[in-house]
Every structure is written in C-alpha cells, then in structure tokens.
Chains A and B, each alone.
Chain A
Amino acid sequence: MPSYEPDRLRPASYAGMTQKGQNAMAVIELKNLTYTYGEGTPFRRTAVDNVSLSIEKGELIGVIGHTGSGKSTLIQTLNGLLRPTSGQVLLNGKDIWAEPKKIRQVRFQVGMVFQYPEYQLFEETVIKDIAFGPGNMGLTPEETLERAKKAAAFVGLSEDFYEKSPFELSGGEKRRVAIAGVIAMDPDVLVLDEPTAGLDPRGRDVLLAQILSYHKVRGNTVLLVSHSMEDVARIADRILVMNSSHAAMFGPTREVFARGEELERMGLRVPQITKILASLRERGWPVGTALTLEEAVRELYPLLEKGGVRA
C-alpha cells in the first residue's frame, strides 16, 4: 500500500510555481488556435475560439470548464487527434502539423489518457497491455518490457499483477493499467481526462498521489482535466479555465480559485474549503485563500488562538 497524505500532496510553496528562469521553455504553445466542427455545413460550431497560451516544461496544469466549454476539443488538438481549423499548436517550438506525415511521432510525445480508459484494455495480461504502446515505438523487446515495468511501478501495480488478465481486476486497478500504458511511452506531456471519475475517495487519493509523484520524478508536463475542483486545487500549479470556447482564465491555482463568483457564473465551483474561507474573508476576518484543509487550519489557527476560547 503506498503511503500518502492527501493534504500534503501539494506543498504550499509549490502553488503557482512555474519553472521560469534560465530554463524557461514552452513545451506547448498555442497560437490563435481555433477549431470548428462541421465547417462548411449548417451544423458548423466553433468549439475552441482563438486561444493563445503557453505551458512551460515541468508544469502541472489543471483544466476545468463545464461540459461543452471546449476543453475536450482543446486537449485533442495537443497531440494532433484534431487538426486546428486555424492557428497553431507548437510542441517544443515546432508546429506539430508542419509535416503531417510525422503526426504519429507527436502522439508518442504527448500521451493522452481518455475518460474511462479501462474500457480500452484488450491484451491477455496486464504487462502485455502496458507494453503495447512502447512496443509500437521501435524499441527492442527488452527496452519495451523495461518501460512497461517502470510504468507499472509508477501507478503502484506490483509484479503480482503482471500475468493477470486485465479483466479480472477491480475498476480502479484497470484504470491504473490503462494509465501505465500511456506512461510507458514516456511522453514529454501527459494529458489525463477525468482520471478520477467514478473512483471512491480512497482510490482517488491514491491515484492523484501516483500522478503527482510520477510528475515529480519524471519532471514532465502534466495536464489534468477534471470536474473535481478539490482534485485540481490539491495538485495543479496553474489552472486553465475554458468557458464558451475561450480561455477565460489561466493563472496560478490560488489566484484562479480566489475568483469564486466568476467561476460560479461559468457553472463551476471552488472547493468547499476555499468557499468557507472566502465567506469569512467577506465578513471581515483577515484570512487568505485556502486550497486545502492544511492551509485553512494554518490560516485560522492564529485567529482562533487570539479569540481565547480554547477549551
């Protein structure tokens, strides 16, 4: 059982930290990205409208937005599953569509884990399933197996799982196999669409801790798409808020969640703990924005001490 401490998943000093400085380098840059479904038909609908932004190497980005806000379309342009109607997607400074025949290479560099990925498992054994991706990258069988084993370890699947059929695993275990299959390709950018949907609280905490530790050890860039504001608050450095096909906000997690009313108008929420401290702040108490319970306790403790009502 991996040890984890949900509240400490995200050190306070980590908030909003981007790896600026001499190594500053955009791994992904979107320039005036627009994607229109059904161009040239009466059903034409622009799902992503003129979005420009840049994501630096090693960032963990949370992506939020209500259903239909354009976030799923946006992430599908990142590895070339959708080709922009106009504008550009730059990966490490290069337009991914500069040479359309090489788009397959981009899919190894930008790994995508879709919603409910466990429905996409198909191999006879867990280890074969995880090895499927790297097996298509021209590696030797030994390298492929090595990568698969490493990826399995990242998601907490021990050797006992290797020879099991993926179909005899629990839902949470299946999902970890599916995520390992993408991690095994060792992508520079890992995109996870709703990785914790449908998991119970424990399964959710374990998976988030694994994603975070993978991110830290590998130092790669992770995009986490989620409807769970609590999950995003706990692990993201920055948050991208999509609303009506536009990038409505893109900033440090704390700054974005300090704008609770605007988020609610977009059909979103802030974590309950953030809301509690925001209400106290509105009523005049000097408390900051809290993203986790630990932070809330840190903000409240000195004030409560002053109140002098400790039993």
Chain B
Amino acid sequence: MSENGFISARDVVFAYEPEEGQAPRNVLEGVSMEIRRGEFVALLGHNGSGKSTMAKMFNAMLLPTGGKVFVEGMDTVDESIVFEIRRRVGLVLQNPDNQLVASVVEEDVAFGPENLGVPPEEIRRRVDEALRAVGMYDFRLNAPYKLSGGQKQRIAIAGIIAMEPDCIVLDEPTAMLDPQGRTEVLETIHRLNREKGITIVLITHYMDEAVQAGRVIVMDGGRILLTGSPREVFSQVELLKQHQLDVPQATELTHRLRGMGFPMPCTLTAEECVEALAAYLPPVK
C-alpha cells in the first residue's frame, strides 16, 4: 500500500436517491484523491460542492454509485468489514448536541469502545486517555448538557479517539461555536495530529482554519478544483472568488495591494501580513 494513500478514492461518482419523477443528479462527478497517513487535510467548497458527501465516503457512511473508496486497502462497499473501517475512520459532525448520548461525560466517551466489545479495564484506560488528549479529563463526571459548545465538541472528539482511530474526519466541527470554542477545537485536533499521528480531514468554511492545514483540497460542482499547500491554493485569489469561495482577510489585503502595484508577497495569516507590510511601509520616525 506504500504508493497509495491511507484513504484512496478513485473516480468516485455519487447520486442521492432522486425524488419521485426527478432525474438523479450526480453530487460527485468522478473524484479521485489520496489522503496519506498522518496528513492534515482541509477540504473546502461551497455548500453543494460535494465535500460533505465525499467525507461520508471515507467511513462508509455513504457508498459510491461509481468508482471505489479504499481505507487501508479495504473496499468500503464490502459490508463484512464496515466496522473495521469505522473503527479506523471516525466522523465528527457540526452539531455537538446531536452526537452526545450519555448523561455523564465519561460514559459518553465509553460508548464507542463498549460497542466495539473492548474489555472494561481497557475501556477505562482509553476513556481516561481520550479525555486527557482533548483536555477534558477534569470534566469526566460532569453532565454533557452543562458544557459549552467547544467543550461538547471536544467530548465528541474524545468519543472518537477512544475507539483508537487512525483518522478523524470532521465536518464543520466549529460552525456552531464561539471564537474561544473554535480555538479549543482547532488546537485539540492539531495536537492529535502532531502528537498521536492521527490523520485529520477537516471540512470547514473558515479560511483561517484551512491555512493551518498541511494540504488543502478545494471542491466545486462535485469535482476537485484545486489541491496543494495552503499557500499554493490561497494564492489563487481570483479563481477562488470566481467559485464563490473566500480567502483570509490577510491574503486578500496583500492581494489587493499587489493589484495596485505594490510588490507584496502572498500572506496567509495576520502575522505574515503585518511583517510583509512592515517591510514596505516607510520607516517609523
């Protein structure tokens, strides 16, 4: 499998079951992509671009109507291994309230491994470790409904980690969170990627989250529009705008100034933008 990705999608076509009397419409029009082990990939695209559909292919929540998806070489259409696949690839969704099931935090985190038939003492170890990994160990005996959105989302992530997955796919996990909650969740998934080597696929509408990824894939109309490092992708300001996507404000500012004739580099973050401007502004008296 060395030349292939951890997740490998080949010419994936997908159409949802059409309404009565309507023709089926392809949501995915032949998408091929490889997600390598340990990567941090941001998946972007406007609503309806096919990105969430693609993400649901990664743990066999949806199956391709054409083409193939392999997880560690396992074909997702093989029903006999669907649990093997879901153990390896966990999915975190937008609304934390729809993902928490128990009335005590640690029971919620234990739900996944219990279903996998993990022995009790092993569950204890995994739950404690997962809660520590998301920085919520001190809340293990709390009631989930009393937590903030960011905390709930971290509990949902802990529930996935307790199943010891190789990869976590997150579908707009911060859309409902306040700025502090967004930061908590982002820092958590970056730490899991860095320290535990967990592969991350992050679907987001927030460009400041995408610039922190190792690689960005942009989807449009059920196809891949662009793929590359954040800098390669976000330097295509005009193309992204044509496809109704955004770029970080820092990137847009240096882009506009460049358009006005000032030799600005492409910047991705506030800090980079400040440094680039500082280099061109007249010295402070």
> Cβ of A20 < 8 Å from any Cβ of B?
no
> Cβ of B74 < 8 Å from any Cβ of A?
no
Name B's A-contacting residues (CB within 8 A).
19, 45-48, 94, 148-150, 172, 175-181, 205, 207-208, 244-246, 248-250, 252-253, 256-257, 260-263, 270-271, 273-274, 277-278, 280-282, 284
> Cβ of A38 < 8 Å from any Cβ of B?
no
CB pair A276–B270 under 8 Å, yes or no, is yes
CB pair B249–A267 under 8 Å, yes or no, is no
Bound CA span A194–B149, Å? 14
CB pair B179–A267 under 8 Å, yes or no, is yes
CB pair B47–A172 under 8 Å, yes or no, is yes
Residues of B within 8 A of A229 (CB): 179
Residues of A within 8 A of B179 (CB): 66, 227, 229, 267-269
CB pair A297–B47 under 8 Å, yes or no, is no
Bound CA span A276–B261, Å? 20
Residues of A within 8 A of B257 (CB): 297, 300, 304
CB pair B253–A296 under 8 Å, yes or no, is yes
Query: 1/0 per position for A289-301, CB-CB distance to B under 8 A?
Result: 0000100110011
CB pair A276–B178 under 8 Å, yes or no, is no
The one of A268, A301, A308 that contacts B260, using a Cβ cutoff of 8 Å: A301
> Cβ of A310 < 8 Å from any Cβ of B?
yes
Nearest CB in chain A: distance from B175 CB, A: 5
> Cβ of A285 < 8 Å from any Cβ of B?
yes
Name A's B-contacting residues (CB within 8 A).
65-68, 115, 168, 170-172, 194, 197-203, 227, 229-230, 267-269, 271-273, 275-276, 279-280, 283-285, 293, 296-297, 300-301, 303-304, 306-311
Nearest CB in chain A: distance from B99 CB, A: 15
Residues of B within 8 A of A227 (CB): 177-179
Known contacts A201-B245, A280-B281; A267 and B46 CB within 8 A of each other: no
Bound CA span A308–B263, Å? 11
CB pair B274–A279 under 8 Å, yes or no, is yes
Known contacts A276-B253, A280-B274; A201 and B244 CB within 8 A of each other: yes
Nearest residue (CB) in B for A226 is: B178
Residues of A within 8 A of B245 (CB): 200-202
Nearest CB in chain A: distance from B16 CB, A: 12
Known contacts A280-B281, A285-B284; A168 and B176 CB within 8 A of each other: no
Residues of B within 8 A of A168 (CB): 19
- Most chain B CB within 10 A, of A67, A202, A229, A301, is at A67
Known contacts A198-B172, A280-B274, A304-B281; A293 and B180 CB within 8 A of each other: no
CB pair A283–B253 under 8 Å, yes or no, is no
Residues of B within 8 A of A304 (CB): 257, 262, 280-281
Residues of B within 8 A of A283 (CB): 274, 278, 284
CB pair B148–A310 under 8 Å, yes or no, is no
Residues of B within 8 A of A309 (CB): 262-263, 280
Residues of B within 8 A of A306 (CB): 282
- Most chain B CB within 10 A, of A66, A115, A276, A296, is at A276
Top 6 nearest A-B pairs (CB, nearest first) are A284-B284, A267-B180, A202-B244, A201-B246, A200-B46, A272-B249
26 residue pairs of the A-B complex, CB under 8 angstroms, read A65-B178, A67-B148, A67-B178, A67-B180, A199-B47, A200-B244, A201-B46, A201-B207, A201-B244, A203-B46, A267-B178, A269-B179, A272-B208, A272-B248, A276-B270, A283-B274, A283-B284, A285-B284, A293-B252, A297-B253, A303-B281, A303-B282, A304-B281, A307-B281, A310-B261, A310-B263
The one of B150, B248, B270, B274 that contacts A67, using a Cβ cutoff of 8 Å: B150
Nearest CB in chain B: distance from A308 CB, A: 8
Known contacts A300-B257, A304-B257; A310 and B262 CB within 8 A of each other: yes
Bound CA span A269–B179, Å? 7
The one of B45, B47, B261, B274 that contacts A171, using a Cβ cutoff of 8 Å: B47
CB pair A276–B94 under 8 Å, yes or no, is no
Given contacts A227-B178, A309-B280, 19 further A-B contacts (CB under 8 A): A67-B148, A198-B205, A200-B245, A201-B46, A201-B207, A202-B244, A268-B178, A268-B180, A269-B179, A273-B250, A276-B273, A279-B271, A283-B284, A303-B281, A304-B281, A307-B282, A308-B282, A309-B263, A310-B261
CB pair B180–A272 under 8 Å, yes or no, is no
The one of B149, B176, B244, B250 that contacts A276, using a Cβ cutoff of 8 Å: B250
Nearest residue (CB) in A for B51 is: A200
Residues of A within 8 A of B282 (CB): 303, 306-308
Bound CA span A68–B148, Å? 7
